[in-house]
A and B are shown apart, each in its own frame.
Chain A
Amino acid sequence: MTTRRRFLQLTATALAWTGSGRLVRAETRHLLLAQILPATQSTAASQGALLAAEEAARTAELLGTHLELRVGQPGEATALIDQGALALIGGLDASARAALAKLAEALGVPLLTTRAPGDTSPDEPLREHVFHVASSPRDRREALARWKGQESVEIVDWHPSLKRFGAEQLNQRYKERFGTAMEPLAWTSWMAVKAAAEAALRGADTPAELSRRLGTLGFDGHKGLRLRFRPSDHHLQQPLYAVSGVLAEIAPEENDE
């Protein structure tokens, strides 16, 4: 912890001496993301997002910028966009997703969606500014078909027992930070914030530019493959996992890897 404190001390204030002889705060980019959560909060969704935000904030500090995740209720989304939020993360159920998607399209601000456990609502049509991190029922059906397996198998986006491709490190960081296992919703929330933060740190300083970058960048989700949002429906192309006592990975069907 000493190292973290020292790190914050080092980066807290960046001062510059101007020609006029006055000490002023150097111009620093401030990147804002917003997570929209219902009043009945989901612990996994907020913790996953928080971990990604803390990690991205640390990366931002290294790069001489600031990155912040603000959390608001559904009624506060517009206010957060007015405050400069470059992207929204949320939409845990179909009605929340539909409302946020409408707002995102109207204001041209990217929305990254996750799904609460048991949300089996169907896919929505492709929208320019809406990106889906969690698998949809269709994604899971397709994965199950590739798995050619038993009906009793459950298809999940993430599992706390995953180890390969740096998954063990991520599961461990999450457990150390919150004392609980990283469930699928925690991972999708972490991934959503990570993707938005990465697009911002790589230079997207307007919502429109961030949308564009979400559509073109490849991301590392500790799943061993470069993850991209499929252009045809903005669903994240990603390995899913079959759970039935044992855990097995199912790679996505079309992947350039």
Chain B
Amino acid sequence: MTARGLFALCLLTVGPAFAAPFVYVTNERSANVTVIDAATDKPLYNLHTGGRPRGIQVSADGRTVYVARSDPQFNKQSPLDSILAIDVAKKRVTAHLDAGSDPEQFAVSRDGKRLFITNEDAGTASVTDLAQRKVTATLVVGVEPEGVALSPDGRWIYVTAETSNTVSVIDTKRNEVVSSFLVDPRPRAAAFSPDGTRAWITSEIGGTVSVVDVKHHEVIAAIDLALRAKPVGIVVSPDGRWVYVANGHGDSISVVDAKKLEAVNVVRVGRRPWGLALTPDGRKLYTANGLSNDVSVIDTKALKVIATIPVGEGPWGVAIAPGADSAK
């Protein structure tokens, strides 16, 4: 084998392991998704979605990015209401999935076979079977449902509802709501700790993060965030040590110590951060800043904004797909 051939072989073997992830940002007012290279933190290209794209999630295998798209005209049911499947390798939309009306946020089941979607205007959660590409169950949850989170073991889906201040618990084995509990006013989003023992729920009007004992589906504490915090998006670090909260109209990110159950830091970002995503190693946090049309990148060790990336209009959600596939 020649030296050149050996070199090429090494690249092939090593390439995927070192490939940086890609960051996908939904822009609700410019009807597209901006794709960012996490290695350089530069925008690469935009994918047209049409409608009003908001919720965004990556499949467990990292090959598909799903985007919830609804009609920009409020409460008007239309063919625009669907979940789009973006093939990460092909860099294009490859499927439109039935999602019920006005889909906003959702979760992908661990086995990659189902989506659990909130329908804000209908007050329901839809379960979409990905093989059949259609809604196979519609579950009644609280009024104005919004946030959706899946437990790490794949068993529970938490659905928050803004008007009823509830979290409904869906058992993914039975496709049924098995429990509901109250949290502080206007719950927006939920996230689980990596070990699955705790869930964290933001309450925008309450200005708090509710801490939930997942075993009993019970609130055990409420953490007051900084003055003017309007907590919306939330993520937990891969080691479970930190919880990052987007403060919406507070224009900042709060860092919550998951052991002490208190906010320990605030990082100023762009205007009205909403969706959040962490790189798989937990080193960088991306925030979708809805009113400044950009994404802030935070170094989670230094707790400093290290880049501000212009995206489309009204950035809403962020998801990070591992970059391994792109190196093929």
Which residues on A are within 8 Å of B, measured CB to CB?
Answer: 2-4, 6-7, 10, 55-56, 58-59, 62-63, 166, 168-170, 172, 176, 198, 201-202, 218-220, 224-226, 256-257
Measured in the bound complex, the distance between the Cα atoms of B229 and A225 in whole Å is 11
Measured in the bound complex, the distance between the Cα atoms of B142 and A69 in whole Å is 19
Which 7 residue pairs spanning A and B have beta carbons closest together? Answer: A59-B164, A62-B180, A220-B185, A7-B140, A220-B205, A220-B186, A55-B143
Q: Which residues of B contact A176 (CB under 8 A)?
A: 75
* B138 touches which of A3, A10, A172, A225 (Cβ 8 Å): A3
* B142 touches which of A4, A59, A198, A220 (Cβ 8 Å): A59
Give per-residue flags for B92-125: 1 if the beta carbon is below 8 A from chain A beta carbons, else 0. 0000000000000000000000000000111110
Is the CB–CB distance between B164 and A62 below 8 Å? yes
Residues of B contacting A: mostly: loop
Which residues on B are within 8 Å of A, measured CB to CB?
Answer: 74-75, 120-124, 138, 140-144, 162-166, 168, 177, 180-182, 185-186, 205-207, 227-228, 249
Closest to A60 in B: B164
Known A-B contacts A3-B140, A225-B205; A55 and B163 likewise in contact (beta carbons under 8 Å): yes
Measured in the bound complex, the distance between the Cα atoms of B122 and A56 in whole Å is 16
Q: Which residues of B contact A218 (CB under 8 A)?
A: 185, 205-206
Q: Which residues of A contact B122 (CB under 8 A)?
A: 3
Measured in the bound complex, the distance between the Cα atoms of B205 and A225 in whole Å is 6
Measured in the bound complex, the distance between the Cα atoms of B230 and A220 in whole Å is 12
Measured in the bound complex, the distance between the Cα atoms of B75 and A220 in whole Å is 21
Measured in the bound complex, the distance between the Cα atoms of B142 and A224 in whole Å is 20
Measured in the bound complex, the distance between the Cα atoms of B205 and A198 in whole Å is 14
Is the CB–CB distance between B144 and A201 below 8 Å? no
Closest to A197 in B: B164
Q: Which residues of B contact A198 (CB under 8 A)?
A: 165
Measured in the bound complex, the distance between the Cα atoms of B163 and A10 in whole Å is 22
Known A-B contacts A172-B75, A202-B182; A166 and B162 likewise in contact (beta carbons under 8 Å): yes
Closest to A163 in B: B74
Q: Which residues of B contact A4 (CB under 8 A)?
A: 140
How close is B78's CB to chain A, nearest CB, in angstroms? 15
Known A-B contacts A63-B180, A202-B182, A226-B206; A58 and B75 likewise in contact (beta carbons under 8 Å): no
Q: Which residues of A contact B168 (CB under 8 A)?
A: 62
Known A-B contacts A3-B122, A55-B143; A172 and B74 likewise in contact (beta carbons under 8 Å): yes
Q: Which residues of B contact A3 (CB under 8 A)?
A: 122-124, 138, 140
Is the CB–CB distance between B124 and A226 below 8 Å? no
How close is A22's CB to chain B, nearest CB, in angstroms? 26
Is the CB–CB distance between A62 and B144 below 8 Å? no
Q: Which residues of B contact A169 (CB under 8 A)?
A: 74, 120-121, 144, 162-163
Closest to B164 in A: A59
Is the CB–CB distance between A226 and B185 below 8 Å? yes
How close is A210's CB to chain B, nearest CB, in angstroms? 16
Is the CB–CB distance between A62 and B165 below 8 Å? no
Q: Which residues of A contact B177 (CB under 8 A)?
A: 62
Q: Which residues of A contact B121 (CB under 8 A)?
A: 169, 172
Q: Which residues of A contact B180 (CB under 8 A)?
A: 62-63
Closest to A168 in B: B74
Closest to A56 in B: B164
Closest to A172 in B: B75
